[in-house]
Amino acid sequence: MVDAIKVEGLSYSYSDGTTALEDVNLTISEGEKVVIIGPNGAGKTTFFLHLNGTIKNPQGNVSVFGRPISSMRIEDRIHQVGVVFQDPDDQLFMPTVFDDVAFGPVNMGLDEEEVERRVYVALLKVGLEGFEKRVPHNLSYGQKKRVALASVLSMEPKVLVLDEPTANLDPKSRADFIDLINDLNERDGITTIIAMHDVNALPVLANRVYVLNRRIVAEGSPREIFSDWELLRTNSLEAPDVFKLFKVLNCFGYSSDDLPLSFDEAVQILTKTIEGKEGHIHLHIHEHTHKELSDVIHSYNHHRDKGNIK
């Protein structure tokens, strides 16, 4: 497998002395979809600023498809890695949607016809065809997010990096945006690297997860990461509600091979169990149930150090 991104020994402190990253090492293969989770201030955005060369850092190596990012010309770099920041207002600054989406291709020196083609294709991909003449400033937040994504897609990057893509979107926009990112990965083969807190969206957008808290503190499948209560708690993270609910059902005697990561998976698992048990699920309360239940609830509770648990 080809390494799309390889990071070795990356440390970074801001000029005021704040250490944001300490000896970060990770490798992401071409075509993977990776989610990076970590509490606020964990260094996720700082890490992404390294991936598009905004922060130039002599400490550590970042390579893209085998080439050190520090030695790449900006035109090559943006063609390889596109970063979509959390706030679309940081990304959109031109008078029209066309100009914003065309900005990268124009700066890559492409001819007018190719620029127009790229803008058309990028807007089509994000579902904003015909929006060329609109003023970015006047669009809804969800539409701005799409234009910001289009302004990166128009450079046809091989790696797409998204910082908190689902934050502040309404449920329908969120679901559409998740599908869109997933399509870019699965249909177009773009490697996707996403930072987010949205644990319910995570299983769809990740085949692998890194937990970042200045350093990489864990790596694994979504199921492995969500099963590690202590890891989640010490890093101010959480598991999907449906996953926690099934942990609770386990305490009441319901056994399933897997715990679901999504609502759809929960329905499948329940259906399978009921079909296999002649249409019944047997739940019970034994003496040990209360203790197990309290342990489960306790382990997921971020307030437990404050003595809120009875």
Residues near ligand ADP (CB under 6 A): 14, 16, 18, 20, 38, 40-46
Single-letter amino acid code for the residue at 73:
R
CA-atom Rg of the chain in angstroms: 22
Could you say which of Mg ion, ligand ADP, none residue 140 binds, taking C-beta under 5 to 8 angstroms by partner kind? none
Rounded Cα distance between 15 and 28, Å, is: 29
Cβ proximity of 304 and 298 under 8 Å = yes
Could you say which of ligand ADP, Mg ion, none residue 68 binds, taking C-beta under 5 to 8 angstroms by partner kind? none
| Closest CB to ligand ADP among residues 42, 97 | 42
| Closest CB to ligand ADP among residues 122, 237 | 237
Could you say which of Mg ion, ligand ADP, none residue 125 binds, taking C-beta under 5 to 8 angstroms by partner kind? none
Taking the complex as a whole, the smallest distance from the CB of residue 38 to ligand ADP amounts, in Å, to 5
Taking the complex as a whole, the smallest distance from the CB of residue 25 to ligand ADP amounts, in Å, to 17
Could you say which of ligand ADP, Mg ion, none residue 143 binds, taking C-beta under 5 to 8 angstroms by partner kind? none
Outline where the chain has alpha helix (H). Answer: 44-51, 74-80, 97-107, 112-125, 141-153, 171-186, 202-205, 222-227, 229-234, 241-251, 263-276, 287-300
Single-letter amino acid code for the residue at 100:
D
| Closest CB to ligand ADP among residues 152, 211 | 211
| Closest CB to Mg ion among residues 41, 95 | 41
Cβ proximity of 134 and 97 under 8 Å = yes
Taking the complex as a whole, the smallest distance from the CB of residue 84 to ligand ADP amounts, in Å, to 14
Could you say which of Mg ion, ligand ADP, none residue 64 binds, taking C-beta under 5 to 8 angstroms by partner kind? none
Could you say which of ligand ADP, Mg ion, none residue 42 binds, taking C-beta under 5 to 8 angstroms by partner kind? ligand ADP
**Residue in the structure block whose two tokens are 């559409």:** 176
Cβ proximity of 304 and 297 under 8 Å = no
Taking the complex as a whole, the smallest distance from the CB of residue 54 to ligand ADP amounts, in Å, to 11
| Closest CB to ligand ADP among residues 15, 138 | 15
3-state secondary structure of 288: helix
Could you say which of ligand ADP, Mg ion, none residue 203 binds, taking C-beta under 5 to 8 angstroms by partner kind? none
SS3 of the chain: helix, strand, coil, percent, to 5: 45, 20, 35
Taking the complex as a whole, the smallest distance from the CB of residue 20 to ligand ADP amounts, in Å, to 4
| Closest CB to ligand ADP among residues 20, 205 | 20
Q: Which residues contact 26 (CB under 8 A, 6 or more apart)?
A: 5, 6, 7, 210, 216, 219
| Closest CB to ligand ADP among residues 45, 250 | 45
Instruction: Compose the 35-54 pattern: x for residues touching Mg ion by CB under 5 A, - for all others.
Output: ---------xx---------
Q: Which residues contact 91 (CB under 8 A, 6 or more apart)?
A: 84, 85, 100, 148, 151, 152
The answer to whether 273 contacts Mg ion (rule: CB under 5 A) is no
| Closest CB to Mg ion among residues 78, 195 | 195
Single-letter amino acid code for the residue at 35:
V
How many residues lie near Mg ion (CB under 5 A)? Answer: 2
Cβ proximity of 70 and 56 under 8 Å = yes
Write out the residues near Mg ion by the rule CB under 5 A.
44-45
